[in-house]
Structure 1
Amino acid sequence: MNLVGLNWTIVINSDVVNLERIIVIILDYVGNGQETSQIVGHLIMPIFQGVNPSTADEQILDYKNVSSIRASSFDGSKKTKIIIHGYTHNGHRQWLQNMARAFLKKEDMNVIIVDWGHGAVPPYTEAAANTRVVGAQVAKLISVMVSADQSGIDKFHLIGHSLGAHVAGYAGERLTHLPRISGLDPADPYFQGTDIKVRLDPTDADFVDVIHTDGSSILSLGMGAAQQMGHVDFYPNGGSEQPGCPAGLLSKITQTVWHSVSQLDLLAGEGSVACSHERSYIYYTESILYSCPFMDIQNSKDEFSKGRCLYCDGGCSYMGYNADKSTSRGSMYLSTQAAAPYCNFHYQLNITANNSMDGKLTVVLQGSKGNTDAILLTPNEEVLSNGNTMTKFFTINKDIGNVTAVALRYDKTANLLLGWAYPNAWSLMGLSLLEAEKHRMDQFCAYGKSVQNHGATSFGMMGTC
């Protein structure tokens, strides 16, 4: 299997000004599989201003010539992130640039984008076979950089999407003690259910974290593997169809055709059929800089969706960039929003009634950084009897800081046959709120206080009553 046009893009932050420097290092293969003698690239600076590279910027890097690598912009004393795209993509895709820039905003480091676009084209069978070749070359590049720049293997972290996740695995199995691989929705066909030598697995690095976002059946055009492949595997929204993406075969095909025809661009429909598959790298990129930690909990998917497992007790982890900050292992579950920002803050509200009520409840959380919108806790009218506690799980996608008060609105049932049995003033005995991301439970001043029908009452935190 011949592979043509394997490119490496190194993105490095400038120490002097807030600019990015990009070196495109192109490794070509001739027809018989033998590599050419040199790696040729261009230095582009600054990329934000769109300055075109010139011959004066050109660097000649020969991995057989150690001095050429030492003379490059690669800094072996810094961390190095290597991002690897998947099937049908190439190194110029915007998501790669977005992730690279997010890394550089996080801290000063080396970011390498592996562009194997010529080897990732259809047919899929050949692209899948090429992953082993690309993985071997990634491993070789790392070995040369470690040797040439006195860098350490402990500086490297590989992030691969789709087929790129398996590329990272092949690279990792050739290296000793690669610290980390992040697999972003590893490709399913020809990999799921195979031996660990064929696919990404926990032995490929000291720590392997995997995000599954499109693990539905291949008959539904699911592209990602649902199988656990890491030390910790994250399943946002169950790990298959993501919120805001078309669900099911018919919906995916219909939206793909519509977007392709309406925009007169065959690639325009890719976002529909691959929407859930692509969410993995979108979630990961958001996790690099966003204050929301993408917290998830080790439990069953059903238990998590019902909000029954928000207490960590050592079983919490963080999807994406901060996954290595936790010692949790196994399958982890979380929910996301349907649009950016995707990360959720998880809350559990416990309300104990002093008298019975029947109706709908709405809550607004008031925080040190702002308030939430009104959140309907009971889409359908519910009955809460005297002395009983109602527990409601909900999420928001913005950081409101520390919750300082909880405002409840009560709308009594409009049923003429039942409404007379319930008072217009609903009295409470207790009110508590669990903020899962902060591992914090707060009590609020609700004892003996009431909420009037069609009215709202704000309850301050205990100690401020």
Structure 2
Amino acid sequence: MLSMLLLLLVGAMTAVTAAPHHAPRVPGHALRVPQHVPRHVPRHAHRYVPPHASERAPWHVTRHAPQHAPRASLEDVRFLLWTSNNAGDGEYQTLKIGDLNSLGHFNGNNPTVVVVHGFSNHGYEGWPVEAKTELLKLGSYNVISVEWGKLAVAPWYPSAVKHVPQVGNLTARLLDWLHEAAGMQAAGVQVAGHSLGAHVAGAVGQNLKNFRLPFITGMDPAGPWFYDNPESSRLDKTDADFVQVIHTNGGSMLAGCVGLKDKIGHVDFFPNGGKHQPGCTIGGSWMDLLTGGCSHGKSHMYWIESINGTPAFVSRPCNDWATYTKGVCNSCGQGCLNMGFHVDRSLEGTYFLNTNRHQPFAIGAVPSPHYEPHYGA
């Protein structure tokens, strides 16, 4: 097992990167990406691990990894718009900054939700589309998916990390333009990002010029190369009026984790302790356990379910998971919170909860801390 973990580390840290040729300079808060290989990782290895079917981690192995990152620039970023008037999965419109004709069905009086995918994913498929469907069931929303897949291609994780502040800055420009040209109501805007997309969301908040971002949801923010970065170079609670973070795979890579475990939001939720999720360990595959793919992806599954799902993800304030599991935090204290889309933005702190192994994940009424999640159908 140790050799496998070392192989995963090698794939993450030895990927060759190529800077974009046409990307603009990003002031001030650009990410610090280390240019050296850590001393404990062999310098001669050059392999990466094959992706999980749905959640790909940045250390994917094949015997024939490409030698150079594909050329891509901010011109490859697209903003895909869905509304109740064009709700089909493939019926998105493409918003173009400065082009009023591209606004289509955008309605500035409706709330706007921006979703941002992570590494080796796309904005026109997978969880962003599932989120769109649930949001449009809930009400009349402008749902904007940031499609930056060409800048976040596997196995080039270091290259994707470099693009995070640039994509965030460009998305901020879009929102500033929508606020000015389309009358978008600032109070109704929120950004939800998964993995690297969570840090993109933070960069959006840092770069807005015309208004302050009200709400960010960070779904298991990516850990590799972000632990040592200053707050200005990753998602942080200063990036919006309210930042909730859902930790589902936080910890070290040696522990099979790819997310940040640090408390970086106004509210930090740690479902099932925030390290490994039910159904991803016992009964899960070894590759999912090693790469964190399954637990990492549970964060956006929980968030999407919270949009319309019942019961709610009821969470209790507690200092840590060990204390929670001892039953010390049975009372709600200053108040229990529902994790996810409908979170109460007036409270802050660290919250813990249990979930089921399969959908519906939410348990609802606060269970005993010794609750054993069911396996589902």
Q: TM-score, normalised by structure 2?
A: 0.73
Structure number with greater Rg is 1
Aligned to 2:27: none
Measured in 2, the distance between the counterparts of 1:214 and 1:348 equals 22
Measured in 1, the distance between the counterparts of 2:231 and 2:316 equals 26
Aligned to 1:155: 188
Aligned partners of 1:7 and 1:24 also within 8 Å: no
Aligned to 2:312: 293
Q: Give the deviation of 1:21 after TM superposition.
A: 7.8
Aligned to 1:76: 108
Alignment of structure 1 residues 148-227 onto 2, 5 Å:
148-175=181-208, 176-227=211-262
**1:7 and 2:78 correspond:** yes
Measured in 2, the distance between the counterparts of 1:116 and 1:77 equals 27
Q: Give the deviation of 1:217 after TM superposition.
A: 1.5
1:278-299 CA distance string (max 9 Å, x none) = 0000000011111212011111
Measured in 1, the distance between the counterparts of 2:187 and 2:151 equals 29
Alignment of structure 1 residues 267-286 onto 2, 5 Å:
273-286=292-305
The answer for unaligned runs of 5 or more in structure 2 is 1-18, 21-71
Measured in 2, the distance between the counterparts of 1:106 and 1:333 equals 26
Alignment of structure 1 residues 36-435 onto 2, 5 Å:
62-65=96-99, 67-70=100-103, 72-121=104-153, 122-175=155-208, 176-246=211-281, 252-253=286-287, 273-299=292-318, 300-323=320-343, 325-346=344-365, 394=371
1:46-75 CA distance string (max 9 Å, x none) = xxxxxxxxxxxxxxx65334x3245x2111
Aligned partners of 2:112 and 2:142 also within 8 Å: yes
Q: TM-score, normalised by structure 1?
A: 0.60
Aligned partners of 1:297 and 1:316 also within 8 Å: yes
Measured in 2, the distance between the counterparts of 1:254 and 1:301 equals 22
Aligned partners of 2:280 and 2:288 also within 8 Å: no
Residues 348/282 of structure 1: CA separation in 2 closer, same or farther (3 Å cut): closer
Q: Give the deviation of 1:127 after TM superposition.
A: 0.4
Q: Give the deviation of 1:210 after TM superposition.
A: 0.4
Aligned to 1:362: none
Report the number of matched residues.
299
**What SS does the corresponding residue of 2:279 show, helix, strand or coil?**
coil
**What SS does the corresponding residue of 1:233 show, helix, strand or coil?**
strand
Q: Give the deviation of 1:346 after TM superposition.
A: 4.2
Aligned partners of 2:116 and 2:192 also within 8 Å: yes
The answer for unaligned runs of 5 or more in structure 1 is 26-60, 257-271, 350-391, 398-465
Aligned partners of 2:189 and 2:215 also within 8 Å: yes
> Higher RCO, 1 or 2 (CA under 8 Å, sep at least 6)?
2
| RMSD of aligned residue pairs (Cα, Å) | 2.6
1:153-172 CA distance string (max 9 Å, x none) = 22210000000000010110
Measured in 2, the distance between the counterparts of 1:348 and 1:161 equals 27
Aligned to 2:46: none
1:231-254 CA distance string (max 9 Å, x none) = 111000110011100379x96338
Identity of counterpart residues, as a percentage? 33
Aligned partners of 2:249 and 2:259 also within 8 Å: yes
**Structure 2 counterpart of 1:303, which letter?**
T
Aligned partners of 2:118 and 2:194 also within 8 Å: yes
Measured in 1, the distance between the counterparts of 2:341 and 2:366 equals 23
